[in-house]
Amino acid sequence: MALRPAEWSVVASAVAGVATATRAAEPGRRHYITGVTLSGAAAPAAAVSAQVRDSAGANIRDQIEIPAAIFPPIIPEYESPIEGPSGASVDVTLPSLGGAVRGTATIRGYTL
């Protein structure tokens, strides 16, 4: 039986600001993203695009559109995990949802 790698999750939230949940780089190891969660406490002032990225934001690996309306949590799960480069960070960034709206971003995965 193969051992399952230890899983991690990172959560970030911000009111009227950018919420970026980052898994820091680990030398010689790769992060694998298995899913993200994006949510807002109220309707965003305008539609925005959240991004799943690696290498300190240098490479966009997925982009998720957030409507300018009240939305339930958006929870994409990746059947094939998104593989980050060796020794690089990974993150999900949720732009400001405007006004006094709290946005929350979570990234989940494992490291090998």
Options 2.40.40.20, 3.30.930.10, 1.20.1260.10, 2.60.120.680; CATH for 7-111 is 2.60.120.680
Q: What is the domain partition of the chain in residue ranges?
A: 7-111
The model's pLDDT over 9-52, given as tens digits with 9 standing for 90+, comes to 999 999 999 999 999 999 999 999 999 999 999 999 999 999 99
Residue 3 has pLDDT above 80, yes or no: no
Whether the predicted model's global pTM rises above the 0.85 cut: yes
Contact indicator for 45, 98 with CB cutoff of 8 Å: yes
pLDDT tens figures, 51-93: 999 998 899 999 999 999 999 999 999 999 999 999 999 999 9
Q: What is the pLDDT of residue 2?
A: 55
The CA distances from residue 94 to 34, 77, 110, in Å, are 17, 17, 21
